[in-house]
Chain A
Amino acid sequence: MKKGMPKGKWGLILGLAVLTILVLNPGCRKRSKAGEEAPPSEARELPEAVEVQKENAPVLGLMVNRLGEIDTYQGWPVLVELELRHPKLFLRDKTVESMIISSRGESWVQAITLVVMNSTDQTIDLPFKLKPLEEAALTLDAEKMGSLSWWLAGEDTIKIPEGDYRVIARLDTSGVKKPGIWQGRVRSEPVILHLSKEPSPLSEEQAEEKQLLLAACAKALGDRAKAMGYVDTLLGARPESLQGLALKAGLLEEAGDKMAAMKTYEKAIAIFNRKYPNADPPYGLWDEYNRLVAELLKK
């Protein structure tokens, strides 16, 4: 098996797309596993060599746990999300030329590479797991965008040496010979992970964050029961965890219990309103809640 390829059940889940997004193009450059000694720096082309942004190129927005820089711990899952946007997405100027993203493979996703570097600029393999997408092409314009998300499971991060890591997403369609396809190379700004040994004991906030990550990762990877277990553990300790309630609502809806999901969102909104009376409405919660109410009333 190649370095970085998913093992066990992940291989069954992810399929072909995973092959293409697991860290760098095989054979393009030497790589090292996390913690291994890297070749001399002059022998490597740093991924930053690719321009962040060009005129008339897609924008690659990368996030880690929804942020640009995080402190996290071994054994905690990590969520990496990528948005691909037309530079004029949602702007008033709607007269934009669409950008169609494709790859030499079957899905446009294969044109995306996630690159991880440690603090000494060594490129390393990490077993990111991608939610699979099979669309051949992605169209970016003033209204449409694309997104991808990868998870690094807790059982994987526990094996990663402590340290600082940079993650960059690259889009390379320069070799794609299909009509109408945007061609070029572009990369995201890096996101930063400061990974260290999990503290003991965890503070209440840390414990909540860990349970949320474990639950969200399990949910994303299809293990709803496991996810619900983490959420229930969390809500047992912190019954007013808004993220926990929202996650539980999502799991309930996935399980088909829309009424329970609606009620859970309702509780979360009430708690929110009590805790944050000066804030604008929690649109994310309201959007889900209103949608469910409308669906249930239609019945």
Chain B
Amino acid sequence: MLFSFSALTPRGDTKSSPERFLKIAKWKLSVSWQASGGFEDSLKNEGGSLSVQSTVQVSGGGEYLLVKRPGDGAYEWGTPEGENPNVSVSYNGHKTLIVSHGGGTFHNDWSYKGQRPDGGSAKLEINADAGTYDVYAVVYFLKEVISPPSGSKPEIVHDSISMSPRDSEFRKKNLLPDSGFNLSGSHEFLAMLAPLNEVDPQVKKKLPLMAPWARMNVNWTLTPAGEEDVEAVIETPKDYENWQPAAEKTEDKAGPQPITVKVRLHKKGEKDKPASQKAQFRFELVDTTKEKGVCLNWPADKAQDTYDLRIEQDKNKDLDVKDGKEGQKAETKKNASGAAVTISCFDWGAFARLKVTAILDGGSGSEVLAYLDSDKSKHDLEIPKDADDNYIADGWKKGGYAEDDEESSPEGDGNPGDGLTLYEEYRGFMENGTHIYGDPKKKDLFICNKIGQMAELGISIFEDISGLAVHSKLKPGGRSGPGELDASRIINLNHTNMAHVVEQHGIFIEKGDAGLTSEAEGTEGYENINGPPKTCKKVKIGLGMLGGRYSAYRRASTLAHELLHGCSVWHHGGGDMGVRKFQTKTDAAGVKRIFIFNVDADGNAVGAGTAIILYNETGGAADPDDPIALAGFNLWIGNKQGQHSGDTDCVMRYDTAHVYLNNAGRYVGYGDPEAIGLSLCTNGQGTGVNEPGRKPEPRYANATAGKGKCEKQICVNDKYH
């Protein structure tokens, strides 16, 4: 047979010189073919008219060893004399012939089996200058008729089947590949098969020489020969199941836990038998992540998007890193039967796939792509192990958490999540110089406390009553450098290409104005609206009078109150009457009475005021002759369903008022300080002094409709509100 082909090998990005093909001493040519065809004809001869139908089906294949020929450099197999018998060919054929002539019909079937080649030639010519190659082969068989027509004897016939394309121009279209040594392809062409010379003798003399046409399909592969048949296997690294990326604080320094991967050659199909073959190993990291910084909030400025996993030269003395600091490709300096690569990590969310190719020595340069010892069908090792393809190390918190932002604890206002995807929680954050992960079970909140210990107690109370996972040790920026929450307050600032839903904000805690103000300062448009952290520019906290009293209990309650404003929680109500002055004045009848006045911006009484009785809740009333009444005093008056209403243990409730307007429209004062809330209410029901049924009456009653239920208002997800 003779074949040639015209397949085009795809070109890769990296080209190697075509001259490399000429260095190969021997090639192994593997070929398989299938042909089917036949003919129909009718003719007249001395016997009368003949009608002939023939169908043919042939399949087979073989392997040839092509050896470089001195002189022109072509590679050849054998000679017509069979000097080079290094070929094995299989041949299976079936022919059907139906001949009708005169009044009779011959219908015979033959089956053939190829026995051994009986000569022929095969040739490979490489034109390195043109970047093409040309290959063909012709082989002769001794065919055994294994299923002769009835009445015929089995016999071995010397046959000279010749298969050749009619158009040889395509030979010139075989291009040499840019990389590797594998020359392979397929081609389909029309070929003339051997003449029908096994016809029944009675008929044969009446027939002309007839050769059927068949459509021939040929597949071929040329590989360098003379090398051991080996496989390369990537060994599962030690503790691969649990390995997780870890980075340093600086982007140019590798993390503390590099991963080392070994690869080795073994005899093909015999995993435990080391190969004597040596090779150069090429390690390539592909699909490597390039997330900015080392984690989501560090560094906050000038974060680089360099490769997160790299092969560093100084950690791989036996390798030659081919792409410098990018560190994505390296090759062994010497040929060996095995090699190892150490991969450094520069990001807490790093991911890559490692591919290893063994380039066999012996001059051929043929390449074997390594497979994983855990799964022969896979040729890249995921770093880290990531069976569920979410770029999260399987070894991290083996919990099967939802990949979207779906935490439901605490439930809060029902909006799920904390603005951070599972990947972001995994990639993590820098807190007080140390990397931390987010909590995949709970909603996270990030706080940068600029005032130190004054806020710590309140933060711990806030975390306790809110149920949030609070990360409050973010370092503020300052003279020692940038902080862990920059001015943008975006905690996932360094997100790049991975799963992300929203720019999630943290909260600053700062010293209140004049050292005394406490408020959750809203961003533009949210000055008087409580929303998630994106709406809270900062929480300001009064530090108390320097050197004076400032109870830790009060401080903790205030801080928790303001932080909760930054998490969408409102007061129990509004509309308190607020500050009024009470002062003794002589009425129109000349009687000294206590009057109530509005106050100006300086707290002074304005207008004529209204005469009232300021009742004491425990009995009696304020005396107009009391010196303090004569001097006047200001008190905060609270209303029903106002800021002082609802659960008295809740931090969101005010406790400043000392006067309320009772159901009879009288002003009722009290001297005992009210409870300072240090928990979070679950409903708007009044408790303590606000409890329904309290005698003489609930001071401020239940919270305003829709308010209270502070626990059910919490939202930290910047995607909402």
Contacts and interface: CB of A to CB of B under 8 A. Distances in A.
Contact of B519 (A188, A247, A275, A278): A278
A273 B656 CA distance: 13
A259 interface: yes
A136 B599 CA distance: 50
Contact of B546 (A59, A89, A91, A212): A212
A243 B518 contact: no
Interface stretch (A40-48, A96-104, A172-180, A260-268): A260-268
Contacts, number: 195
A225 interface: no
A68 B547 contact: no
Contacts of A68: 449-453
A279 B628 contact: no
B545 interface: yes
Nearest to A87: B460
Give chain A's interface residue range (CB within 8 Å of chain B): 35 or more
Contact of A278 (B514, B528, B552): B528
Contacts of A288: 549
Interface stretch (A9-17, A153-161, A291-299): A291-299
Given A262-B628, A262-B633, A282 B552 contact: no
A297 B622 contact: yes
B518 A279 contact: yes
Interface string A120-160: 00000000000000000000000001010100000000000
Contacts of B512: 279
Interface string A59-90: 10111011111000000000100010100011
A284 B512 CA distance: 13
Interface string B543-568: 11111111111101010011000000
Q: Interface residues of A: mostly helix, strand, loop or mixed?
A: helix
Interface residues of B, number: 69
A168 interface: no
A294 B636 CA distance: 13
Interface stretch (B298-306, B671-679, B696-704): B671-679
Given A273-B603, A278-B527, A297 B457 contact: no
Most buried by B among A67, A89, A241: A67
A243 B527 contact: no
Contacts of A275: 513-514
B464 interface: yes
Interface in A245-299: 246-247, 250, 259, 262-263, 266-267, 269-276, 278-291, 293-294, 296-299
Interface string B499-519: 000000000000111111111
Contacts of A67: 451-452, 454, 511, 543
Nearest to B458: A90
A92 interface: yes
A219 interface: yes
Interface in A203-218: 212-213, 216-217
A228 interface: no
Given A63-B454, A66-B515, A283-B558, A247 B528 contact: no
Given A61-B453, A67-B511, A259-B631, A270 B546 contact: no
Contacts of A298: 671
A217 B547 CA distance: 8
B516 A285 contact: yes
Given A270-B634, A282-B542, A298-B671, A293 B516 contact: no
Contacts of B461: 90-91
A243 B521 CA distance: 21
Contact of A66 (B519, B546, B552): B546
B495 interface: no
Contacts of A282: 516-518, 542
B101 to A, nearest CB: 107
Contact of B603 (A91, A216, A241, A270): A270
Contacts of A66: 451, 454, 511, 515, 543-544, 546
Nearest to B455: A68
A214 B665 CA distance: 49
B570 to A, nearest CB: 12
B546 A283 contact: no
B602 interface: yes
A216 B547 CA distance: 6
A133 to B, nearest CB: 16
B545 A250 contact: yes
A216 B550 CA distance: 14
A243 B546 contact: yes
Contacts of A21: none
Interface of A: 59, 61-63, 65-69, 79, 83, 85, 89-92, 145, 147, 149, 188-189, 191, 194, 212-213, 216-217, 219-220, 241-243, 246-247, 250, 259, 262-263, 266-267, 269-276, 278-291, 293-294, 296-299
18 contacts: A62-B453, A66-B515, A66-B546, A67-B511, A90-B553, A216-B548, A242-B514, A242-B516, A279-B513, A280-B518, A280-B558, A284-B542, A284-B544, A284-B548, A287-B673, A288-B549, A290-B656, A291-B673
Interface of B: 449-454, 456-457, 460-461, 464-465, 478-479, 511-519, 521, 527-528, 540, 542-554, 556, 558, 561-562, 579, 599, 601-604, 622, 626-629, 631, 633-636, 654, 656, 658, 669, 671-673, 678-679
Closest 3 CB pairs of A and B: A68-B452, A270-B603, A294-B671
